[in-house]
Copies of this chain bind each other. A is one copy, B any other.
Amino acid sequence: MRSLLSIREEEGTVMKNPGLHDGPSCPAPAPIGDGVRLGHGSGGRLSARLFRERFLPAFDNEHLQKAEDGALLQVGGAEVVVSTDSFVVSPLEFPGGNIGDLAVNGTVNDLAMMGATPRFLTAGFILEEGLPFPILDRILAAMSSAAREAGVVVAAGDTKVVEVGKADGLFINTTGVGTVERGVRPSPLRIRPGDAVLLSGPMGCHGIAILAARGELAMEVELESDTAPLHELVDSLLDQLGSAVHALRDPTRGGVASALNEMAVTSRTEIVLRDDALPVPPAVEGACELLGLDPLYVANEGILVAIVSPDRTDDALAVLRRHPLGRGAVQVGMVTGDHPGLVTLRTSLGGHRVVDLLSGDQLPRIC
């Protein structure tokens, strides 16, 4: 039997999301050529291929095969979750945050989505010669404050410096270690037909805030990145609903669409979204219309997707809404068994379309 992933790629020519590709014929993604392209960093189809064709064969093991936000390890008799993420966002500072709190929150959230309690971070800095100290200091202060807020200790670090023009100001890698305190861990493998698909807040704020900070919007937007640590939201959900929380994911690079696609493939279910339920703030909608972007693919750094048992939908929404970061929680769709591995969108007019992985990037260097 062919894997779902390969089925989807072969059928890619008919499944594309109109309006998001270069031409009306929606060609299949170009074969990977001789080198790395920007799209390989998109979190979309090219990223998946790069991982599957080059990284996975090199490091073949059960942890990487799961393609989760982190790895669950048995270390010295303890269950530990480890997750790593490099941050290359441009610009380094933007409304609502900077690369520092983004790097802390990003890894804290990856641990939380695995059902782990974030404990420790390591931080690796690659500094470009000439980076002004006031900028570095603001970034370190933001990291420190984000770490305090998330209750994690930055326990080990490393700095390297490269010549002017050999990096872009500053790149940060954060790697997180969390502990598993609960018996049942959320995992895409626990998603079942019938489950409710919830989103904890409005979509697209981070990506559009970055675009605005780059000066790429011809309009003024009053929008901040939503970067925030989601561990408390996850804690509340797991404390109140336990194993009724089937899967969690923070829809960062590649947006809600890419996160849901990964979950649909892993769980071999279809995820059906309702167009009129998607929480898109007016500023995000306006910017997306202007630039021809789809908010479903715009990065978020402070919301989560929760897939929960249908009989607990209202409880889950109530728990989310009690937390400041979950006030805007809504149900955006449901899980079916109809088209395993697909994400589809039903419009209020009764139409529906496939919400596929993009080939490359809508927005490079967003995190």
A interface with B by C-beta (< 8 Å): 32-41, 47, 50-51, 54-55, 58-59, 61, 63-64, 70-71, 73, 75-80, 82-88, 90, 119-120, 122-134, 136-137, 140-141, 143-144, 147, 153-163, 165-168, 171, 173, 175, 177, 179-180, 364-365
Contact = CB atoms under 8 A, between A and B. Distances in A.
B155 A76 contact: no
B155 A162 contact: no
Q: Which residue of A64, A143, A155 has the most chain B CB atoms within 10 A of its CB atom?
A: A155
A87 to B, nearest CB: 8
A168 B166 contact: yes
A32 B86 CA distance: 27
A340 B41 CA distance: 50
A89 to B, nearest CB: 9
Contact of A35 (B36, B76, B124, B132): B132
A306 B18 CA distance: 64
Contacts of A140: 54-55, 58-59
A17 B1 CA distance: 68
Contacts of A125: 86
Given A36-B161, A71-B155, A84-B158, A58 B124 contact: no
Contacts of A73: 119-120, 155, 177
Given A41-B127, A59-B143, A143-B59, A75 B179 contact: yes
A136 to B, nearest CB: 6
A47 B365 contact: no
A136 B59 contact: no
Contacts of A64: 154-157
Given A40-B127, A40-B161, 19 more contacts: A32-B133, A37-B130, A38-B161, A41-B160, A51-B157, A54-B133, A59-B154, A71-B156, A77-B78, A80-B177, A83-B122, A84-B175, A86-B158, A86-B160, A86-B173, A88-B162, A124-B173, A162-B168, A173-B175
